[in-house]
Structure 1
Amino acid sequence: MDGVFLYILGVLIIVVGVAVSIGLHEVGHLVPAKAFGVRVTQYMIGFGPTIFSRRKGETEYGVKAIPLGGYISMIGMFPPQSSRAGTSSTGIAQLVGPDSRRSSGIAPATDAADPAGTATATAPDAGGTGDGDDRAGRGFFDLLVQDARRASAESIGDDEDRAFYKLSVPKRMVIMLGGPAMNFLLAILLFAVVLCGFGVTTPTTTVGQVNACIVPAGSTASADAATCPAGAPAAPGAAAGLQPGDTIVSIDGTEITAWDQVTGIVQVSAGRELDVVVERDGAREALAITPVLTEQAVIGSRGAPRSTSRATPSRARWGSSASAPRRPCSGSRSRRPSPPRARTWRRSGTSS
């Protein structure tokens, strides 16, 4: 039952999140359009039947049944049709007028002085050759454009000076790019919320876990004291008295400020005794730890140890791992988690 509830809750969160993202995207178009004086007749989230709507001023705000998109409706999205080569609402030159009407298969208009339309009409392609097929292919698109122009012209009314096409090209670009810009700002905001609100795991110089024993490479046995395999040798850290909660102060006189230093020193010190100073309960203690060289299994593409004829790689360890708490907006560099590998110790953060 809990699983079903969580599933439904997850779906609702996704739907609400998508709707909010769409709404903010449309706000990115709406705000500059109103700022530039364009009359916006509708602001809608979703498509299909309208579930809720309310008019405020000259704009109708509402929510539709399918929350997979949205739109704002501005008057004059298309400029009125011209009888000469003109410029589209996007600033691209195009040919409109009688020629474009002929290309869509629509007969040009006639007047009383020329009832037969001989001044502008052209004979049909009686033989079915030439560019007739090309005209038919373009006809549907041209009809859609003409319908859009007609609807746009009807929506203008007496507010032609507030039409979208009356704006300069830079202002039209600001309106059209406002939506993507809002999505970009939303992504930055969400990233900041996650980073500062939840934080990222950051390894410290404090020991998070000390393994009790060393297990063979590829073994599924645990290195905990209660489950160590019989005859397994003790881990160097545990044998030297290292405990969870100890803070590594220095190794062989080198001050330790990051766990990467611990890992680097241990990896090149197999079989050599290290003088380790730790801070425990406010007091400093000196430990002598000798890292041992252990085998490390090769992991296949499915995350399981892979059998191979090549020698198993080895690595020096002393059997401990760092504490890695989450630090909100700490400014510290986070460590990217490494892929899963079979180890002779159980990891809790960055290991050594």
Structure 2
Amino acid sequence: MSEDGTNISSGSILEQNCRENWPRWTCLFANICGLCSTALWFIVLLPQVWKNFHRKSVKGLSVLWATANFTASLINLFFVFIYVSIPLYGQISSIYCPILEFTLLIQFWIYGRYKKVEKIVYATACFILWGIIIGVELIFTLENFVEYAAIFLWCIETFPQIILNMRLESTSGQSTGSVLIAMIGKTTDFISNNSLVMPLQYVIMVYFSSSVAYINGLQVAWYYGNDDFRQGEGHDQFWNPENSGHGEHNYNFHQSVESVEGGHNKWNNSSIKTGSTSETANKQSSYSALEQPNKQTAVVFTIRWLCILTLSVLLTGCVAGFAWNIDSYYGLFAPVSIACVIGAAKLYFSFCTTSKYTPQVIT
């Protein structure tokens, strides 16, 4: 029993960290959600790793996101086994996640379009940082420092990727499968952490990371359907992300559309000049070619706004659930702080696209 009278653990894996005054089924459900979350973390990065391997590139991904992710998991690994007692699924996840995240960093080393010197310098700095973290955790008893360092990194880890997506106006670098699995995992993780008796740092971390994950999902929904023109197998010939914000890809998009429409005009003009009886057939062919994109646009529009509506509801529920759990309205400041960071980045990119300066983004 804890100090507040709650049941922390019992014999069954599905009856750990239960709230004493809650029905038994809520504890079972929460632990099942935790186990589901752990299972999802085993596969969450696999679609991203496979996509990077398949295209032999990490273009569109932020190395800062990957580094912060692994560093937070490294801190958490020692925190879980030294300072706190959490359910078994959390212990398993704390070991496995750093392994998969380090695999992603290796891909940055192999596929990243950086100079060899830059790779060596960055890798050296990272290993020094990780060595210091391991040494501090093994030698000193700094529970508060360790827990809040991990919280901070997990809270901000996705911001570099979100900001990069805003800069590129695309999420083609990310695997949609990984983003979807992450959002489902964050949802089950949030339910588990807010329904069980968990350390406060875990509750805060899950709240912030879930909120940012939903925002990343909103980006995927918002940019859905645009990536066919900006990225994909032939993305370099359509759009160069080193160019400033809006102009380049919009130009290429309209140029592609104009070329199609121009082709229709040529066909029609040719039919008129020759007086061919195929003029009607050519018009019907043109109309059919134009109807197909319209149908695709309607589907994209529907999917986009259904996803945005769903994620907005989940984000609102995340805020309400956290405020209820900690019995404080301080949780309401989190969406404001996240919005401020994203808004500041948006203003910065808007300023850069209207000036002679082009922002450099670390990918």
TM category, shorter: under 0.3
Structure with greater strand percent: 1
Looking at CA atoms only, which structure, 1 or 2, has the larger radius of gyration? 1
Larger relative CO (CA 8 A, sep 6+): 1 or 2? 2
TM-score by length of 1: 0.18
